[in-house]
């Protein structure tokens, strides 16, 4: 059997022959077909029918909730896109490791998840070559910043990484942060991505928006 009749079993009960999901309209059609084709000698029990009506009500509520969630998701995406566009030309602080060198010094900012006995900052050029190393000694937990003397270093974009260990030599997790002006916005699968210091920064990685002079 195929179609509606193909999913109606004996005794007037609904039996799905396929595992694919059905919508509320399909469910309602099956209930109507069930009433039309029920066995007169074995009519559908009222309790069973009430249970199926409850199932239909639940299915309709889930369908409506799904539609509302889709609308909410579209609204949130639109809001995020609008917020990202408004950041163009503004200076932000975000998770990242690209610094722009165009003078004699540059600030390197990072955050330690706990206090460290030894902290070393390594700086690389665009080709991945190590150009400088800063041994900062012990550091407290939280955000820290160091000024890198980059006089004599060619202008351009550089990356830095932070290595930290505690008194036992165990690694202390650290993450780097950058500050720069948002030069543009692109979208990766609908999610806004900011262009800062030549690096793509997801909107969710922005920590703060800074006042500009």
For domain 90-210, the CATH architecture is Sandwich (2.60)
Contact (CB, 8 A) for 147 and 107: yes
Task: Please check the confidence at residue 12 and state whether its pLDDT lies above 90.
Answer: no
The 8-class DSSP code of residue 38 comes to: -
119-150: b (≥16 Cβ within 10 Å) or e: bebebebeeeeeeeebebeebeeeebebebeb
pLDDT surpasses 70 at 83: yes
Provide the percentage of residues in the chain whose pLDDT is more than 70: 63
pLDDT digits (tens, 9 = 90+) for 119-146: 999 999 999 999 999 999 999 999 999 9
The string of pLDDT tens digits covering residues 169-200 is 999 999 999 988 899 988 887 788 899 888 88
Give the start-to-end residue ranges of the domains of the chain. 5-85, 90-210
Bridge partner residues of 14 (DSSP): 8
């Amino acid at each position: 059997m195929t179609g509606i009749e193909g999913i109606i079993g004996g005794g007037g009960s609904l039996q799905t022959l396929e595992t694919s999901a059905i919508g509320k309209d399909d469910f309602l059609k099956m209930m109507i077909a069930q009433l039309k084709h029920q066995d007169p000698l074995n009519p559908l029990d009222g309790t069973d029918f009430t249970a199926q009506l409850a199932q239909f009500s639940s299915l309709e509520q889930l369908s409506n909730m799904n539609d509302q969630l889709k609308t909410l998701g579209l609204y949130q995406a639109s809001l995020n896109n609008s917020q990202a566009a408004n950041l163009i030309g503004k200076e932000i602080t975000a998770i990242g490791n690209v610094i722009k060198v165009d003078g004699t010094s540059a600030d390197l900012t990072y955050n330690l998840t706990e206090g460290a006995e030894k902290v070393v900052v390594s700086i690389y050029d665009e080709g991945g070559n190590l150009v400088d190393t800063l041994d900062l000694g012990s550091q407290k937990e939280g955000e820290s910043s160091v000024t890198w003397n980059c006089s004599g270093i060619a202008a351009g974009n550089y990356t830095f990484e932070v290595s930290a260990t505690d008194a036992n030599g165990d690694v202390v997790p650290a993450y780097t942060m950058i500050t720069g002006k948002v030069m543009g916005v692109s979208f990766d699968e609908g999610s806004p991505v900011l262009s800062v210091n030549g690096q793509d920064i997801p909107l969710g990685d922005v920590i703060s928006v800074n006042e500009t002079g």
